[in-house]
Chain A
Amino acid sequence: MEEKPSKVSLKSSDRHDSDKESVHSDIRDLWTTTTLSQAQLNMPLSEVCEGFDAEGRSISKTRGWYSPGSRSLDEGDKASHKPEEMDEHALVELELHRGSSMEIIPGEDTASQIEAEKSSSMSSLNIAKHTPHRAYWAEQQSRLPLPLMELMENEALEILTKALRSELPTNPQELPRQILATS
């Protein structure tokens, strides 16, 4: 897999779009045109998940994606760590001032913008290396909708209930090993 830094940026004002669908599709396009840095690719899955709290913010001291209030992911480049308590708004402004001149505006044709973006200079590579992963940052602006989290929990409970009911014998003392297997 190629490891090009993210070069996509979004206007911060557009992140608070009230239209959930257009935000959702923007995020899809953002992920499609964005690449991941190499440091972020070789992480075991369990480590990625352990590094985040319920709000999706990084809580790991030694690893984790770029996000406000967290330390830098790039362990080989600790000098570029952002202050832990950086304000979200200030961070967005910093990105906007720093980043590439290309901006993707939702709803507009992005093909030519994406092409120009890919041919940008190495200076943007260095800049992007020290800024939060933009697609992740954009995604964090619109959290997973609460109804979907509720759906996830309800579905998991339904599966567990089915599994338990399918294995319960008439005599409760004969509970099967599959359900009661313990370490």
Chain B
Amino acid sequence: MRLKKGSFLWYLYLDKIYCLLSVRNVKALAEYFHILDVHGKNTLNDVLFYHFLHHVTDLKRHRQHCIGLEQFYMLVCMLLAHENHLEGQFMYRHSRPVFDLLDLKGDLRIGAKNFGMYRFLFNIHKQELKDLFHDFDVTGDNLLNYQEFKLYTIIYIDKLQRRQKTEEKEK
């Protein structure tokens, strides 16, 4: 799922290290949300959210859901992280919210199936997901708890930084 070039969100940007929006961008985003929130409920209903996603991204299929401002902000940050290839950084810096997002059942565990449904948000390939569960499921229950997930993000970012250093040296 990519942002459409020239859309308003496409012009926003995340801080490269902490993967946060600046205050100015948050203010603009909140104003954008409130314009869309025609009913004044601090929520985009399913129809509005559907049309929003289809207008600003290349998403083809979408199940209709409502979304509040907090989740909207999180979604936009994830879209921007994906757009700017900061998925790993984003997961590392915001591991708790990402874990809570993937913990669909609310049992403080992430299953492979649920993670697989949303792996596209973080640009994780199928084989990478299999390797992830193989390497980091320390408890062996085919589920990731928060500590295992956090460990994965730390190792991931460490590998990324090493790769970047190697690439810089080669240059």
Contacts and interface: CB of A to CB of B under 8 A. Distances in A.
A156 B9 CA distance: 11
Contacts of A116: none
B15 interface: yes
Contacts of B16: 28, 31-32
A48 B69 contact: no
Interface in B120-169: none
B47 A31 contact: no
A163 B55 CA distance: 10
Interface string B1-45: 000000110010101111010111111101110011011011001
A144 B38 CA distance: 24
Nearest to B7: A155
Nearest to A139: B24
Contacts of A156: 8, 32, 35-36
A153 interface: yes
Given A181-B45, A182-B39, A155 B8 contact: yes
Of the candidates A46, A136, A152, the one having the most CB atoms from chain B within 10 angstroms of its own CB is: A152
A48 B23 contact: yes
B89 to A, nearest CB: 11
Contacts of A163: 47-48, 50-51
A56 interface: yes
A45 B73 contact: yes
B70 interface: yes
B58 interface: no
Contacts, number: 102
Contacts of B50: 163
Contacts of B22: 27, 31, 135-136, 139
A145 to B, nearest CB: 9
A140 B93 CA distance: 26
Given A49-B31, A143-B24, 18 more contacts: A32-B17, A36-B18, A45-B26, A48-B30, A49-B30, A49-B69, A140-B24, A148-B11, A151-B11, A152-B32, A156-B35, A158-B55, A159-B52, A163-B47, A167-B47, A178-B46, A178-B47, A179-B47
22 contacts: A27-B22, A28-B16, A35-B18, A36-B18, A36-B20, A44-B70, A46-B42, A48-B26, A49-B30, A49-B69, A135-B22, A148-B11, A151-B11, A152-B35, A153-B35, A155-B55, A155-B56, A159-B55, A160-B35, A162-B51, A162-B55, A182-B39
Interface of A: 1, 27-28, 31-33, 35-36, 44-46, 48-49, 52, 56, 65, 135-136, 139-140, 143-144, 148-149, 151-153, 155-160, 162-163, 166-167, 178-179, 181-183
Interface of B: 7-8, 11, 13, 15-18, 20, 22-28, 30-32, 35-36, 38-39, 41-42, 45-48, 50-52, 55-56, 69-70, 73, 93
